[in-house]
Chain A
Amino acid sequence: MKPSGMRSTDIKTTGRKPVSLRWRLLVPLVVTAIVISALLFFTMRNVTTHAVQATQDALLETAALSILEQTRTIEDDVEVDLPYNIFTMLGATSEDKVYYRIDLDGTFLTGYEDLAPNIIPPQEDRPVFSTTDFRNSKLRQATIHRGFVVRGKIKFVRITIAQTQLFQETIIRDISRSASIIGISFFGFAIFMALLVTTSFLRPIKLLADAVSRRGPNDLRPVKHPTPEELTPLVLSLNGFIARLRTTLRQTETFIAEAAHHIRTPLSLVKSEGQLALSKSTNAHNREHLRNIIQAVDQSSRSASQLLDHAIVLYRTEQSDELRLDLSIVIKSLVENIQPAASLKDINIVSDLDTNSSVFILADRVLVEVALRNMLDNAIKYSQPDQTIHVTLGVVKNMAKISIRDQGRGLEGINQRGLKQRFERGSNVDDVIGSGLGLAIVWEICSALSGTFTLKNNKGDGACAILYLPIC
């Protein structure tokens, strides 16, 4: 049984979409990465904007103060001088346009008359800054004022100096570009790390799942795979479950074996009594009845031994006792044992084996024998008198190939999968005694021994059963 199949069954029983650990991990990590990248970008841009603004403000303040310092009272007037170097300095960091305006007591004195000064409180001796639009460009402007005493009267000189923000825009554009590159790079790196973390996080779980799914269908040994601490409770309960299942299975098998044994013994008694009665009876009617009874007993006995076989198979696959076997010897002795029963039906078994054709496998001899006996039994069962069963042994691609070919009625109305099921039979065999267990037993042994089993029709008459087992 495939693990995926098992999981899908579980999902169906819970009836809900399964929660993906990967997405549970990945989604918060990705969201965090997005948030941090965006924060990084906006912080960088913001800090730069403020820094550049502060720089420009400091320059404007210096310029305004320098003009104030160059302002002095001469006789009955205030004389304002524009320092050349201050204007040069304003243009040093960038080639921004410079505008200024000087007022005396609120009256325009010189500069750009259309430049509106910032409103400044009378007691304020620090510059007041603002951002305005002027002649189609954005301006940063500073206004400062100071009182000068002229003939006992205070006259206010107000200096407004402004600069376009080309430099600021250039810097912010450059920084924004760098910031977005850094943000995107960080985002990419974070995503990469998130994928790495989720993969490494989920790796032990995946390894454990693989280890469990690799186990054979009858492997009921406890799981001993190394597991992360957090999964230990799960593995412990799994192992407990396996142990309970194994105990239950063994009890069932023992029960079946016991039952089969207890049924077979009285059945053989019934059969021999029936045969005795048949030999003594002269009434044709009674003889017919007795024959039916004997046939039914045969069928029951056969079923019972197959149940016994099946129990043995289950037991042996779990506690397999592997040995190096020569298949040719196994087949030879099996054919010798079964030949008398075949001869009763006038069926001939031909095996083209000699001592030279030794093929070795590593397997439990009992299992191999049970499988081959069931295959031969089947061949005999569906053969007519005077037909021949051919048994051959060969090697194909590191596999031992045992084929048993009969000349019987062949297969009908059944597929390979169906034959694997217990108590399934072909559609053309109703007249032949059978339980439907035989091939199921072969299949189980085959998978326990890592082999393959095929059953198909011959080109001529009859069926051909082929068992492949890995050689050693």
Chain B
Amino acid sequence: MRNSVFANLLGLSSLLYLLGGAQPAKAFEIEYEEHFGAADAASIVRILSSTDSDRFKPVITGFIARNPDLGVHYVTASTAEIYTAIAVEKQPFDLVISSAMDLQMKLANDGFTQAVDTVETKAVPGWARWRTEVFGFALEPVVMLISKKDFANLTVPRTRHEMLALIRNNSSVFKDRIGTYNPETSGAGYLFSTQDARQSDTFWRLAEVMGRLNAKLYCCTSKMIEAVDKGDLALAYNLLGSYANAILPANSNAQIIAFEDYTHILLRTAIVPITSQSPAGGIRFLNFLVSPDGQSILDSEAKLPALNNSVIDKLANRKPIRLDAGLLVFLDRLKKTHFLREWNAALIQN
């Protein structure tokens, strides 16, 4: 992400080289791409993912160690670009990994995914998969990040109500120093906001308060983490817990807070698109992801909480976002327009 432009140029050329130029021009925006495994590997598994290559590296390395005949070509892009790449451009990837459950669901519902029915995928618990097409392999708690310096004299809020009261009562501390996802540009941010809106009316009041205090909107979790760690932000709302957990140094200024009223749990999901030209490789990678080996590497090395992660299991009032057809609703064109209009109205009230 940091060197995305450079990586993009580099990656694009290498991808074109790999594919022999037979593919149509890449229209979707690639953030980064990297090749893993032996250069002369018998076949290449092409993975399109929203997870940083650095974070995912232990998993890919683990996969190649177990499948030395395969190489992995790992391409990262934003969740929205991933959806475009598959649904619109029909890019020939063998596996698509995304943290945007709703977009993955839509790909499956609209018939862009292949059914995968293997011993390993059958073992995935029912709540973590949809049909035999969408498979959750990692959990992601949606949390708040606070700056320790700013909260030295403040009580850490346990619920969203307490947070609202705290912000209202200490507007000088929080003026210009609240951060959250921009739902207009970030798929994950849109998903979190809509799920929040479904959950309680607090969300709209929060939006109003954040608007009044001139909250800053971000594209991604990493930037919010950076800002809180540096002390630029006093509070960042709705960001990916595992990222913060993995990135933050031990003596960081940022502290992760999981609310007690409810904590949304996101599923990182994988699909095998119908556009894949060698789905067998994608299926092998998927099998590895959900296998006990893959799950343990995800959890301990990649710091992406596995499906049975014990810490997340113990979170108070965790609310897993259900992997079902309901996710399609907020992707509706009218519904999205309507929601963002409301959001903007709340945020830009004065």
Contact = CB atoms under 8 A, between A and B. Distances in A.
A88 B131 contact: no
Interface in B100-145: 108-111, 130-131
Contacts of B110: 112, 135
15 contacts: A79-B338, A81-B338, A82-B332, A83-B329, A88-B324, A91-B324, A91-B326, A95-B130, A98-B325, A102-B334, A109-B334, A110-B333, A110-B334, A112-B110, A136-B111
Interface in A136-150: 136-137
A19 B338 CA distance: 85
A84 B111 contact: no
Contact of B109 (A85, A92, A98, A110): A98
B111 A111 contact: no
Interface in A46-96: 79-85, 87-88, 90-92, 95-96
A84 B102 CA distance: 12
A88 B109 contact: no
B322 interface: yes
A87 B328 contact: yes
Given A84-B198, A135-B111, A91 B335 contact: no
Contacts of B218: none
A214 interface: no
Contacts of A85: 326
Nearest to B324: A91
Contacts of A80: 334
B249 to A, nearest CB: 40
Nearest to A82: B329
A236 B108 CA distance: 84
Contacts of B330: 84
A97 interface: yes
Q: What size tier do the contact residues of chain A reach? A: 20 to 34
Contacts of B332: 82, 110-111
Contacts of B333: 110
Contacts of A84: 198, 326, 329-330
A86 to B, nearest CB: 8
Nearest to A98: B325
B338 A88 contact: no
Interface in B313-345: 322, 324-330, 332-335, 338
Nearest to B109: A97
B110, B325, B329, B334: residue with the most chain A Cβ atoms closer than 10 Å: B325
The dominant DSSP class at the B interface is helix
A87 B335 contact: no
Interface string B53-95: 0000000000000000000000000000000000000000000
A49 B26 CA distance: 48
Contacts of A87: 324-329
A90 B322 CA distance: 13
Interface of A: 79-85, 87-88, 90-92, 95-99, 102, 109-112, 135-137, 166
Contacts of B325: 87-88, 90-91, 96-98
B329 to A, nearest CB: 5
Contacts of A166: 131
A451 B335 CA distance: 108
Interface of B: 108-111, 130-131, 198, 322, 324-330, 332-335, 338
Given A95-B324, A98-B328, 14 more contacts: A79-B338, A82-B329, A83-B329, A87-B329, A88-B325, A91-B326, A97-B108, A97-B109, A98-B325, A102-B334, A110-B334, A112-B110, A135-B110, A136-B111
Contacts of B322: 88
A328 B327 CA distance: 113
A80 B326 CA distance: 16
Contact of A82 (B108, B198, B324, B335): B335
Contacts of A137: 111
A135 B198 CA distance: 31
A452 to B, nearest CB: 77
A277 to B, nearest CB: 121
9 smallest CB-CB distances across A and B, nearest first, come from A88-B326, A91-B325, A91-B324, A110-B334, A98-B325, A87-B326, A87-B325, A95-B131, A135-B111
A112 B332 CA distance: 10
A90 B328 CA distance: 12
Nearest to A97: B109
A112 B326 CA distance: 16
B324 A81 contact: no
A202 to B, nearest CB: 55
B261 to A, nearest CB: 19
Contacts of A81: 335, 338
Nearest to A135: B111
A96 B110 CA distance: 11
B271 to A, nearest CB: 14
Contacts of A91: 324-326
Nearest to A102: B334
Q: Which of B130, B322, B332, B333 has the most CB of A within 10 A?
A: B332
A81 B330 CA distance: 10
A84 B331 CA distance: 11
Contacts of A135: 110-111
A83 B131 CA distance: 22
Nearest to B331: A82
B101 to A, nearest CB: 13
Contacts of A111: 332
Nearest to A137: B111
B3 to A, nearest CB: 39
A85 B327 CA distance: 10
Contacts of A136: 111
A110 B110 CA distance: 15
A407 to B, nearest CB: 96
A56 to B, nearest CB: 14
Contacts of B108: 97
Contacts of B324: 87-88, 91-92, 95
Nearest to A163: B325
Nearest to B112: A135
A81 B194 CA distance: 14
Contacts of A109: 334
Nearest to B194: A84
A91 B329 CA distance: 12
Nearest to A94: B131
A31 to B, nearest CB: 43
A99 B108 CA distance: 12
B335 to A, nearest CB: 5
A79 B337 CA distance: 11
Contacts of B131: 95, 166
B128 to A, nearest CB: 13
Contacts of B328: 87, 98
Nearest to B326: A88
Nearest to B327: A87
A137 B326 CA distance: 20
Which of B111, B322, B327 has most chain A Cβ within 10 Å? Answer: B111
